[in-house]
Structures are given as C-alpha cells and as structure tokens.
Amino acid sequence: MTRKGILTPQRKAIYEIVTKADDHPTAADIIERLRVGGHNFAYATVYNSLRYLTEAGMVRELKLEGDASRYDGHMDDHQHIICRVCGKVDEVFAHVPEDWVRQVAADTGYKIEEEHIVFKGVCLACQQMKN
C-alpha cells in the first residue's frame, strides 16, 4: 500500500516544524529539531517527506545561498533577503510590480507563472558588529 497522499505522523511532524519556523530551516536543521523534540526519523524519511510536502504545495523549497535547500512554510506571496555576512534569511512582503513582470515576459518570451526575488545585503545585527 502506498503512502502517497497521506499526511503520515512523520510528515505532520516535519510540516509543523517548517510552518512554525521563522528561520527557513535546512533539512539538517529539521532533523536536529526533530531529535530535540524526541523524534528519531531516518534521514530518508525527512528528505522524502520534505519532497512530498513541497510537491503537495504545503511548503516551499528555497534554493538560495550555499548547497542546502531551505524550507518555508509561509505560502503567501513574498520575497526573501539574505545577509551576506551571517547567512540569515528574512521574508520581504514587498509586491513585485506587475509592469516589471510584464516587461520581463516581453523581453524573454516567457509566460511568467510565478516570481521569486532574492535580495542580498547585510542585516542590522551584522552592520552593528562592524561599527
């Protein structure tokens, strides 16, 4: 019997970690949080569950900086900003101008289905450490 389409206890636990997180955790972060919470899931279970949750549209996979994907449980429209110093990822709720999206489509010939803009800079905490 297949487990596709079922929100198993493992998937639910992983989903709850991602949706409650405010730091866009990596799979390694999620595994550590599961362990702290008393769960001992196999690595494959975590990775397969993240793939399922992403494909089901329940969480968003972010391929930002570095090799590890990060996961976002906030499915509303938003962008992200990354600190170049500490790697912190924050959400940005600025609207992408429709005329800009139309211009990109016209320039490239693409039919734009979604947009995700990543800003990069230095967060306030890292700026203050430099001073």
Domain 79-130 has CATH 3.40.50.1010: no
Alpha helices in the chain (DSSP H): 9-20, 27-36, 43-55, 98-108, 124-130
Alpha helices in 41-115 (DSSP H): 43-55, 98-108
Q: Has this prediction a pTM greater than 0.85?
A: no
Domain boundaries, the chain: 9-72, 79-130
Per residue in 27-67, pLDDT (tens digit) is 999 999 999 999 999 999 999 999 999 999 999 999 987 77
9-72 maps to which CATH number?
1.10.10.10
Measuring CA to CA, which residue among 130, 104, 106 is closest to residue 117? Answer: 104
Cα angle 20, 23, 26; round to 5: 95
Measuring CA to CA, which residue among 23, 68, 32, 27 is closest to residue 51? Answer: 27
